[in-house]
Chains A and B, each alone.
Chain A
Amino acid sequence: MKNTASSPGIPRGLPKAAHCLHCGEELGLSNVVFSNGNYFCCTGCSSVFELLNTLGLGNFYKIKEEQNIEKTGRPIDPEKAEEYGYLDQDNFINQYTSSEYPLKMDFYIEGIHCGACLWLIEKIPDYAPHIESVSLNMSSSVATVNFKDEKKFSSFPEIVKRFGYKAHPIKIDEEAQELKRKENRKSLIRLSIAAVCAGNIMLLSAAIYSGAEGVFAKHFGLLNLLLSLPVVAYCAVPFYKSVISSLRSRRVTVDIPIVFVIVVGFFLSTYNYLNGNDQVYFDSVTTFIFLLLASRYFLKSIQERITKKEPAGRLLFSQNRILIWDNQNKQFFLEPIEDLRAGQKVKLKKGERIPLDGELLSPDAELNLSVLTGENIPQTVLKHDVIYAGSILESEQAIIEVTKTGDSTRIGKLLDEVEKNYRSKISSSTYSDKFATIFTLLVGVIAIISFVTISTIISPATALSRVMAFVLIACPCAFVFALPLSLGFSLNSAVEKGILIKSTQIFEKLPHVTNIFFDKTGTLTKGVYKILKWNTEKLSEYDQAAIVAIEKESSHPIARAIVSHLGDKDVKLPGVTNFKHIYTKGIEARVGNHIYEFMSDKDIKSSNDINEIITTKIVINKDGETLSELYLGDSLKEDAKFVVNLLRNKGYKLHILSGDNENNVKQTALKLGIAEEDIYWEQTPEEKALIVKGLKHSMMIGDGLNDTSAFSSADVGVSVQGSVEESLKVSDAYILNNNLINIADLLEHGNITKKSIKRNTLFSVAYNITAGTLALLGYINPLAAAVLMPLSSLLLIGSSLYGQNNLNQKRQGAIL
Chain B
Amino acid sequence: MNIIFLTLGVSIAIALLFLAAFIWATKKGQYDDLTTPSQRMLLDDYEITETKKDEKEEQVK
A positions within 8 Å CB-CB of B: 51, 54-59, 62-63, 67, 115, 118-119, 122-123, 126-129, 136-139, 159, 181, 184-185, 188-189, 192-193, 196, 199-200, 216, 219, 223
Report Cα–Cα, A57/B15, bound state, in Å: 48
CB pair B32–A128 under 8 Å, yes or no, is: no
CB pair A138–B27 under 8 Å, yes or no, is: no
Which chain B residue lies CB-closest to A59? B46
CB pair B43–A55 under 8 Å, yes or no, is: no
CB pair B47–A59 under 8 Å, yes or no, is: yes
Q: A63-B43, A159-B60, A185-B27 are in contact. Are A54 and B32 (CB under 8 A)?
A: no
With a cutoff of 8 Å between Cβ atoms, the chain A residues found around residue B12 in the complex are: 200, 223
Sort A-B residue pairs by CB-CB distance and give the 4 closest, nearest first: A56-B49, A56-B51, A59-B46, A115-B39
With a cutoff of 8 Å between Cβ atoms, the chain B residues found around residue A62 in the complex are: 46
CB pair A118–B36 under 8 Å, yes or no, is: yes
CB pair B23–A54 under 8 Å, yes or no, is: no
Q: Which one of B23, B33, B40, B51 lies within 8 Å of A189 (CB-CB)?
A: B23
With a cutoff of 8 Å between Cβ atoms, the chain B residues found around residue A51 in the complex are: 59
Report Cα–Cα, A67/B42, bound state, in Å: 10
CB pair A192–B49 under 8 Å, yes or no, is: no
Report Cα–Cα, A127/B36, bound state, in Å: 22
Q: Which one of A54, A137, A219 lies within 8 Å of B5 (CB-CB)?
A: A219
The winner among A51, A185, A193 for most chain B CB atoms within 10 A is A185
Report Cα–Cα, A127/B50, bound state, in Å: 11
Report Cα–Cα, A127/B29, bound state, in Å: 29
The winner among A59, A67, A129 for most chain B CB atoms within 10 A is A59
Q: Does B8 contact A (CB under 8 A)?
A: yes
With a cutoff of 8 Å between Cβ atoms, the chain A residues found around residue B48 in the complex are: 55-57, 59, 123, 126-127
Report Cα–Cα, A128/B57, bound state, in Å: 8
Report Cα–Cα, A119/B4, bound state, in Å: 55
Q: A55-B48, A185-B26 are in contact. Are A192 and B19 (CB under 8 A)?
A: yes
With a cutoff of 8 Å between Cβ atoms, the chain A residues found around residue B35 in the complex are: 138-139
With a cutoff of 8 Å between Cβ atoms, the chain A residues found around residue B59 in the complex are: 51, 54-55
Report Cα–Cα, A711/B56, bound state, in Å: 48
B positions within 8 Å CB-CB of A: 1, 4-5, 8, 11-12, 15-16, 18-19, 22-23, 26-27, 29, 31-36, 39-40, 42-43, 46-51, 55-56, 59-60
Report Cα–Cα, A196/B22, bound state, in Å: 11
Interface of B is mostly: helix
Q: Which one of B8, B23, B46 lies within 8 Å of A223 (CB-CB)?
A: B8
Q: A119-B46, A196-B16 are in contact. Are A54 and B51 (CB under 8 A)?
A: yes
With a cutoff of 8 Å between Cβ atoms, the chain A residues found around residue B5 in the complex are: 219
Which chain B residue lies CB-closest to A162? B59
Report Cα–Cα, A127/B48, bound state, in Å: 9
CB distance from B29 to the nearest CB of A (A): 8
CB<8 Å pairs between A and B, sample of 20: A54-B51, A54-B59, A55-B56, A56-B51, A57-B48, A57-B49, A58-B49, A63-B43, A63-B46, A119-B46, A123-B48, A137-B36, A138-B35, A185-B29, A189-B23, A189-B26, A196-B15, A196-B19, A199-B15, A200-B12
The winner among A122, A127, A216 for most chain B CB atoms within 10 A is A127
CB pair B40–A122 under 8 Å, yes or no, is: yes
With a cutoff of 8 Å between Cβ atoms, the chain A residues found around residue B56 in the complex are: 54-56, 127
Report Cα–Cα, A350/B18, bound state, in Å: 62
What 15 new A-B contacts, CB under 8 Å, besides A51-B59, A115-B39? Answer: A54-B51, A54-B55, A56-B56, A57-B48, A59-B47, A63-B43, A115-B42, A119-B46, A122-B43, A127-B60, A137-B33, A185-B27, A189-B26, A193-B23, A216-B1
Report Cα–Cα, A64/B31, bound state, in Å: 26
Report Cα–Cα, A291/B40, bound state, in Å: 33
With a cutoff of 8 Å between Cβ atoms, the chain B residues found around residue A118 in the complex are: 36, 39-40, 43
Q: A115-B39, A127-B56, A192-B19 are in contact. Are A185 and B46 (CB under 8 A)?
A: no
Report Cα–Cα, A137/B1, bound state, in Å: 55
Report Cα–Cα, A138/B18, bound state, in Å: 30
Which chain A residue lies CB-closest to B58? A54
CB pair B4–A216 under 8 Å, yes or no, is: yes
CB pair A185–B32 under 8 Å, yes or no, is: yes
CB pair B23–A192 under 8 Å, yes or no, is: yes
CB pair B26–A139 under 8 Å, yes or no, is: no
CB distance from B54 to the nearest CB of A (A): 11
Report Cα–Cα, A29/B43, bound state, in Å: 36
CB pair A136–B36 under 8 Å, yes or no, is: yes
With a cutoff of 8 Å between Cβ atoms, the chain A residues found around residue B49 in the complex are: 56-59
With a cutoff of 8 Å between Cβ atoms, the chain A residues found around residue B47 in the complex are: 59
With a cutoff of 8 Å between Cβ atoms, the chain B residues found around residue A55 in the complex are: 48, 51, 56, 59-60
With a cutoff of 8 Å between Cβ atoms, the chain A residues found around residue B39 in the complex are: 115, 118, 138
The winner among B27, B36, B55 for most chain A CB atoms within 10 A is B36
With a cutoff of 8 Å between Cβ atoms, the chain B residues found around residue A58 in the complex are: 49
Report Cα–Cα, A193/B21, bound state, in Å: 12
CB distance from B5 to the nearest CB of A (A): 7
With a cutoff of 8 Å between Cβ atoms, the chain B residues found around residue A115 in the complex are: 39, 42-43
Q: Which one of B8, B22, B43, B51 lies within 8 Å of A192 (CB-CB)?
A: B22
With a cutoff of 8 Å between Cβ atoms, the chain B residues found around residue A219 in the complex are: 5
CB pair B31–A139 under 8 Å, yes or no, is: no
Which chain B residue lies CB-closest to A220? B8
Which chain A residue lies CB-closest to B19? A196
With a cutoff of 8 Å between Cβ atoms, the chain A residues found around residue B23 in the complex are: 189, 192-193
Which chain B residue lies CB-closest to A114? B39
Report Cα–Cα, A189/B20, bound state, in Å: 10
Report Cα–Cα, A137/B40, bound state, in Å: 10
With a cutoff of 8 Å between Cβ atoms, the chain B residues found around residue A67 in the complex are: 42
CB distance from B1 to the nearest CB of A (A): 8
Q: Which one of A59, A123, A185 lies within 8 Å of B31 (CB-CB)?
A: A185
Which chain B residue lies CB-closest to A122? B40
CB distance from A747 to the nearest CB of B (A): 29
CB distance from A380 to the nearest CB of B (A): 40
With a cutoff of 8 Å between Cβ atoms, the chain A residues found around residue B32 in the complex are: 181, 184-185
Which chain B residue lies CB-closest to A135? B36
Which chain A residue lies CB-closest to B55? A54
Report Cα–Cα, A200/B11, bound state, in Å: 9
